[in-house]
Amino acid sequence: MKQPLIHFILCWIVLSALSALQAQDLKNIKADRFFSGSLTKVLDELAKEHSLKFSFDREALAKMPVDDRPFNESLDVFLNNLCKPHKLKYALHEGTIYVMQKTSNLEQVLRTQVGKVDTKTNLPTRTNLTVTGKVRDAQTGEALPFSTVGIKGTTQGVSTNADGYFVLQKVPSDTATLIANFIGYREAVVRLLPNLPTDNISIDLAPTTNELTAVTLSGEREDMMSTQRTDISVVRLTPKTLERLPNVGEKDIMRSFQLMPGISASNESSSGLYVRGGTPDQNLIVYDGFTVYHVDHLYGFFSAFNANALKDVQLHKGGFESRFGGRLASVTEITGKDGNQKQFNVGGDLSLLSFNVFAEMPIGDKFSSVFAFRRSYKSPLYQSLFKRFNENDQNNSQNNTQNTPFAQNTTQARSYFYDLNGKLTYRFSNNHSLAWSIYNGTDKLDNGYKVETPSFLASRGISLDFGINDLTNYGNLGSSLKWTQRWSPKFYGSALVSYSNYYSNRDRSNNGTITSSNGEQRTIKFGTLEDNNLKDYSLKTDYQWDYLPNNQLQFGNMHTNYDIKYTYSQNDTTTVIDKDDKGYTSSVYLQNRTKLFNNRLQFVAGLRANYFNITDQWYYEPRFSATYNVTKRLTLKGAWGNYYQFANRIVREDILAGSRDFWLLSNGTNIPVSNSQHYIAGLAYETPQYLFSVEGYHKDLSGLSEYSLRFTPSSQGIKYDENFYNGTGFAQGIEFLAQKKGGKVNGWVGYTLGKVRHKFDVYSKDFFPAQNDVTHEFKAVGIYQHKRFDASITWIYATGRPYTAPSGAYNISLLDGTTESYFSISDKNSLRLPHYHRLDVAFNYRLFSKGNDIGYIGLSLFNLYNRTNVWYKQFEIIENSIVTTNINYLGITPNLTLSLKLR
């Protein structure tokens, strides 16, 4: 295993073992000659000349040059002079001079001297003790949530909580060695010492990006200690390392998840996750505690999350715990960065799609902040993606009755997306903090055009504003305020208030405004206007109590008020739909985690109870999961759970002509509360280098809703029938994962065999393939690293998705002599699109300055062999036959990224 650099734990050198050195002695030792070479060389020479005992990281200091001529200078001054330019410091402890980073402290350094501690003087003084502490990023001081801490040589281990705290009970002795892991970071080995405290110890992990090593993405955190394989169906990643994977224009957490088995990767036009046969709206997305309702940028080609602002992302693919509720399929838990707690940092990325800047600013040691901003610009890549959607869109536009001689004077409106993340954290003490997080992301997609006022008209005081509107404006605004308190090392709690707003406006109309010279103004507007506005006000508390050595109790409550408006109007006069749903859910949960048989068996039993005021009913969600370590390498897993969903995203049939989706609350009648039961079983076999995992799932679904808006004639006029079709379904599948976890070449292959069937009486008495049904999906990811270079390759293969095709078609002549084509349909989703596959590659060259990683230059090639993958099919009647045209996804798409940061 490769050794870490900056943590100073690998190459501890004992150069001599003389009598204990005193601080006063340093003043008496004089340096009086020319020193040149590396710092390692200079310290070696000093040790030899003065019989001193130094402890330092040999490899790191070897890169630090020294060129100095002290004149009879005392050694304490000379050492300071040597350390200062390299941001180092030294400390004297029990006769040894420790040279370490300025940001490190001696206690941590001492703890990391595994194998170098004199066991004679470090005999255990306490046994069966409790150790508490926090796992942090060594560079920034940020807490690392959900990292694992275990005891070397035992099967004992725990995960840190959302704020990085851990409680490790029944630790055999105060000389035990702890091992801490976190994806994207080097493993840290920490020694307990009898003369040092066992409460509130800090374990600092060094990021691997600085060292060009290690795996970036792991299934179920299985690349960590095998004894910590306690989670079921969890995929996690750290955004820090995403840059190594290929991308279209942005490193993207959601796209990266799609490379793991069980998460569909063949839908380029949705960043939302299709997890185990679920739809994106069945995936709960929690960002710093608030729910995010929409994750797409630019028609779904990118997700709305800026990787530079994120610290950790976990995806629970199923069987998730009682602390989460309100969704049927899965949970994506996103934790934003707190910001560098040690020093100011700034950085940014420039790609062919967007620019991205971030800044981290600590004030003192109690306050930290981070801000990140990203915005697309009118690059060829953006335009090409935008046009891809809108060329198709124009094919579908109907009833464009406007006809203008001003076409030559038209201007294309601007389209863009942006997002902003901010977080301020104040730590009152080690056990008490307050954090405010805000996120805002918006897409403005304008496919309309406007006619400019010709100058000769403007000079006469006449202004002309005429054009076709096709404006989509959607986004999220979310914010949370979280109070965290560690009442005691074993009792931790947090309270959170949050607000989340999803807004989506679609103006697809023709309008004309004419202002004559006498100031008279007339406006006409034809077309459709849609407005969906969802507001979620939530209050949440979570507690964690390690009340017994092998038992942890988690409990809490959540109250969410929903206010969801949706209006659909035509010609800015006729309101077709005007909904204003208000309701709330109140939930409480309780779950217990128990470890038995020397930690070989762990089971979690929980219950979540939800009250939904619209139906005036309680909904109970019992959940159970267990893992059993058969051997040190083989683990069996199982989970069962009941899940309800109260807010539903309705996907419009005509995604091009209207808002793609909108949210509605269940009403207990024609929009029932949907329900799902998960059954999961699996096994995993892990060696230090490899992980092999098989997991099967079956989900029963009920209360599913599909929506259609039908315009039907009636004696009173056109009736707008909002049809909510209700149905049931099931999803099942089996996932295989083989992963090489480390080394110069690492990566994984995954395969999923899946099936999703729905049954809606309105379509068929039998089950039919759901739109997101993918039978076979294979993924292979390879990452190669060599010094400054890294390269990655991904290949995805998936069975084509089902679609409904017309069984027949006919033309009708309208009153103005034009002909309109109409299609009859029959069997739902009876056909499948061609198989989807593509190969992506990426190359990065890392940039270093004074030994520090300061960024990279990256080239990414999406769809390298330019596979024509079909997005959907378009139908036309030409010469009395139905002609089908394929509308395709992206062909080969290159992207260049330059990423720089101060530290």
Nearest approach, Cβ of residue 513 and other proteins (Å):
11
738: contact with other proteins by CB under 8 A = no
**Cross-strand partners of 617:** 612
Least distance in angstroms from the C-beta of 718 to other proteins = 5
What is the residue whose two structure tokens read 């056909």? 831
- Name beta bridge partners: 822: 810
* Nearer to other proteins (CB atom), residue 326 or residue 802: 802
Integer angstrom CA distances of residue 256 from 241, 244, 250, 689: 11, 10, 11, 22
22, 127, 820, 850: which one binds other proteins (CB under 8 A): 820
Residue 601 interacts with other proteins (CB under 8 A): yes or no: no
| Residue 466 near residue 404, CB atoms below 8 Å | yes
Interface region with other proteins, contact rule CB under 8 A, candidates 247-255, 368-376, 606-614, 810-818: 810-818
Q: Does 519 bind other proteins (CB under 8 A)?
A: no
Dist. CA 142–CA 164, nearest whole Å = 9
The two structure tokens encoding residue 335: 């934790």
What is the Cα Rg of the chain in Å?
31
Which of 323, 407, 415 is closest to 377 using CA atoms? 415
User: For other proteins, which stretch binds (CB under 8 A), given 350-358, 459-467, 641-649, 743-751?
Assistant: 459-467
**Rounded least distance, CB 460 to other proteins, Å:** 7
Phi-psi region of 299 (alpha: psi -120 to 50; beta: other; left: phi over 0): left
Whether 540 and 557 have beta carbons less than 8 Å apart is answered as yes
Place of tokens 């993958």: 869
What is the C-alpha separation between 255 and 606, in angstroms, rounded? 31
Smallest gap from residue 581 Cβ to other proteins (A):
24
Single out the residue of 67, 118, 616, 816 in contact with other proteins (rule: CB under 8 A).
816
Provide the 10 A C-beta neighbour count for residue 219. Answer: 25
Transcribe 325-377 into DSSP letters.
Answer: -S-SSEEEEEEE----SSS-EEEEEEESSEEEEEEE--BTTTEEEEEEEEEE-
Residue 696 interacting with other proteins (CB under 8 A): yes
Determine if 874 is a binding residue for other proteins (CB under 8 A): yes
Which of the stretches 192-200, 279-287, 354-362, 456-464 binds other proteins when contact is defined by CB under 8 A? 456-464
884-to-400, 813, 871, 875, 881 alpha-carbon distances in Å: 23, 22, 13, 5, 10
Residues between 523 and 542 with contacts to other proteins, criterion CB under 8 A:
524, 526
User: Within its chain, how far is the Cα of 583 from the centroid?
Assistant: 29
CB of 823 vs other proteins, minimal distance in Å: 6
Q: Does 638 bind other proteins (CB under 8 A)?
A: yes
Question: Does 857 engage in binding with other proteins (CB under 8 A)?
Answer: no
**Minimal distance in Å, beta carbon 528 to other proteins?**
9
Q: Give yes or no for residue 318 binding other proteins (CB under 8 A).
A: no
Sole window of 93-101, 379-387, 468-476, 751-759 interacting with other proteins (rule: CB under 8 A): 751-759
Residue 364 is a binding residue for other proteins (CB under 8 A): no
- Interaction of residue 732 with other proteins, rule CB under 8 A: yes
Stretch that binds other proteins, among 144-152, 556-564, 871-879, 889-897 (CB under 8 A): 871-879
CA nearest 237: which of 733, 739, 790, 675?
739
Size of the site for other proteins (CB under 8 A): 94
Is 130 or 463 the residue whose CB approaches other proteins more closely? 463
**In angstroms, what CA-CA distances link 739 with 506, 668, 736, 857?**
44, 45, 10, 27
Query: Measured from the CB atom, is 21 or 877 closer to other proteins?
Result: 877
Could you tell me which residues come within 8 angstroms of residue 850 by beta carbon, excluding any fewer than 6 positions away? none
Q: Which of 636, 847, 892, 902 binds other proteins (CB under 8 A)?
A: 636
Distance CA 231, CA 220 (A): 7
Contact call for residue 827 and other proteins (CB under 8 A): yes
* Region 386-415 residues binding other proteins, contact defined as CB under 8 A: 396, 398-399, 401-406, 408
Asked if 766 touches other proteins (CB under 8 A), the answer is no
Is 822 an interacting residue with respect to other proteins (CB under 8 A)?
Answer: yes
Of residues 426-455, those binding other proteins (CB under 8 A): 454
Q: Does 692 bind other proteins (CB under 8 A)?
A: no
Determine phi and psi for 890, rounding to 5 degrees: -70, 140
Task: Say how far apart CA 279 and CA 60 lie, in whole Å.
Answer: 49
The residues with which 886 forms a beta bridge, in sequence order, are: 873
Q: How many CA atoms lie within 13 A of 797 on its CB side?
A: 7
Token pair recorded at residue 769:
């393939």
Say how far apart CA 12 and CA 93 lie, in whole Å. Answer: 14
**Binds other proteins by CB under 8 A, chosen from 582, 825, 850, 868:** 825
Q: Taking the complex as a whole, how short is the minimal distance between the CB of residue 408 and other proteins, in angstroms?
A: 8
Residues 6+ apart with CB under 8 A from 813: 819
Judged by CB under 8 A, the residue of 120, 522, 765, 787 near other proteins is 522
Rounded Cα gap, residues 180 and 187, in angstroms: 6
Q: Could you say whether residue 380 binds other proteins (CB under 8 A)? A: no
Tell me which of 16, 807, 849, 868 binds other proteins, using CB under 8 A: 807
Under rule CB under 8 A, residue 657 binds other proteins:
yes
Looking at 197-205, 245-253, 417-425, 648-656, which segment touches other proteins (CB under 8 A)? Answer: 648-656
Report the residue from 383, 488, 516, 670 that binds other proteins according to the rule CB under 8 A.
516
Q: How far is CA 738 from CA 570, 597, 853, in A?
A: 54, 29, 31
Residues between 881 and 900 that touch other proteins (CB under 8 A):
881-882, 887
